[in-house]
Amino acid sequence: MASVLVVEDDQFVRSALIRHLTDASHTVRSVGTALEALREVAHFRFDVVILDLGLPDLDGSEALKMLRGITDVPVIIATARDDETEIVRLLNDGADDYLTKPFSVEHLSARMAAVLRRSRGSGSGSGEAAPRPVLQVGGLTVDPLRRQAELDGARLDLTRREFDLLAFLAGRPGVVVPRKELLAEVWQQSYGDDQTIDVHLSWLRRKLGETAARPRYLHTLRGVGVKLEPPL
């Protein structure tokens, strides 16, 4: 069971989401504007936010930026927009996932479950697991416990998903990781679109000061997978 905030101004869609989530034993609060969403997040603890982009008072993309200024709660974007450039921007601004309307309740449930697994998996947990060591790959340092990464001594400003991807690859330096494995381990999904991986790799490369054409740490083997290794 999770505590969910639904941010949706269409009353029909909003009611359907509330009904589905409540039937699935989640605790649901809902609002119809971005400002109401910000107030809710400031006063209540949520496990996940489902955020519509077409809000009456403020575009959802701006609301996302404001949410990220006060909380790291996982956010799933629900949108009728399917423009690749906007999707890239939303992911870079801190969205954890996105769904293109119309979508089925089963699809929403699967995406929510994956986001919640990732979110809860990155927390402190029960304390039974041994602390994970700091990972060093060339000039790249990744600290999974503190969720911090540095390149040549400079702190990297990474989103949660970018960090998860980098840490997973850094834990297997020089190993080519298939995309299917990345989806399963980093995104907790048994299926998905390669675009999701490509978007995060693109932004991660920018922050590492490299490009796909001139890689330093991140190397893509077309049709095979991705590997992280120190530059020669």
Q: What is the DSSP string of 206-222?
A: HHHT--SSS-SSEEEET
What does the pLDDT read at residue 43?
A: 85
Q: What is the side-by-side order of every strand in the sheet holding 225-228?
A: 177-178, 225-228, 218-221
Backbone angles phi, psi at 140, to 5 degrees: -100, 125
Q: Are 227 and 181 in contact (CB under 8 A)?
A: no
Q: What is the pLDDT of residues 173-209, one digit of tens each?
A: 899 989 888 888 887 776 666 777 888 899 899 999 9
Please state the pTM of the whole predicted model.
Answer: 0.57
What does the pLDDT read at residue 50?
A: 95
Q: Are 64 and 94 in contact (CB under 8 A)?
A: yes
Structure tokens at 88: 């890239």
Sole residue written with tokens 């639904």? 6
Per mean pLDDT, which range of 53-62, 76-85, 154-163 is the poorest? 76-85
Instruction: Please name each of the domains of the chain with its CATH number.
Output: 3-121 (3.40.50.2300), 135-228 (1.10.10.10)
Structure tokens at 26: 């989640």
Bridge partners of 79, per DSSP, are 100
What does the pLDDT read at residue 32?
A: 93
Q: Is the pLDDT of residue 132 over 80?
A: no
- Residue 162 per-residue DSSP state: H
